[in-house]
Every structure is written in structure tokens, then in C-alpha cells.
Amino acid sequence: MANQIARKLRKNLTLAERKLWYELRPLKAEGFHFRRQVPIDDLIVDFACYSARLVIEVDGGQHNTDEGLRTDAARDAHLYFQGFNVLRFWNNEVLGNIEGVMYAIREALQAPYPHPNPSPQGGGA
């Protein structure tokens, strides 16, 4: 089911998602292969790089509601527990400041990814 939904979403990317996808694809030459509209467990994320354990979400205005913020926080927590870092950008950031967005992504690609089972004391692995 999630794969069918993801396939449909890949065919209907938003303008901001298309722009970011265009910028992410060249990173493959640097060893960072991104996939778009990726099922992870019962979620579908906008972009994921498994080797760097990085998820990128491009958010529209519906994410800036109380419900949207709660849903996003729960998704982010689930993904973090699965060992992913999550970056979120607003559509207008991607469309109006792609250089800044790509800078933040490149920084995140260089950072160590979170341990999938962090210690209860918060000390890491």
C-alpha cells in the first residue's frame, strides 16, 4: 500500500520538491544517493539518503497548524528512533533560498547520524 502511494506521489511532486530533487541528484557523485517519496515503516518521507541516515521534508502551510506540528513531531521522533536525522524546510525556503537549503543539507551529510538505540541517560552509544 505505501509503495503504491509513494509511486503516485513521485509523479506529483510539488514545485519545491522538484527544485530540491534537481539539486539533490548531483550529490550521488559524492556518495549520497537520495530517493524521493520513500516509504519508511508506515510513513512516506519526501527524500531519504540511507547511507547518511538523513530524511528531508519539504513542508507547505498545512504543517504550520497545531495538528500539523503534532503530526510532524511524532513523525520526526519515529524517524529519529529508526536512526535518521530529519531536516525540514518550508516550500518558500526551497524556492527562494536553495543555496542556503543546500548548505544546511551538506552540513547534515557531514554530521554523524543518530544512534538507533540511544542510551536512556542521553550519552549516546
Domain boundaries, the chain: 2-110
In one-letter notation, the amino acid at residue 43 is L
Fold of 2-110: Endonuclease; Chain A (3.40.960)
What confidence score (pLDDT) does residue 60 get?
Answer: 83
pTM of the full predicted structure?
0.79
Which pLDDT tens digit goes with each residue over 10-51?
Answer: 556 789 999 999 999 999 999 999 999 999 999 999 999 999
Which pLDDT tens digit goes with each residue over 89-124?
Answer: 999 999 999 999 999 999 999 876 555 555 555 554
The residue among 45, 53, 56 whose CA lies nearest residue 87 is 56
What confidence score (pLDDT) does residue 125 get?
Answer: 45
What confidence score (pLDDT) does residue 6 get?
Answer: 47
Grid cell 503534532 is found at: 70
Q: Which helix (H) or strand (E) holds 5?
A: helix 2-11
Strands 43-49 and 54-59: antiparallel
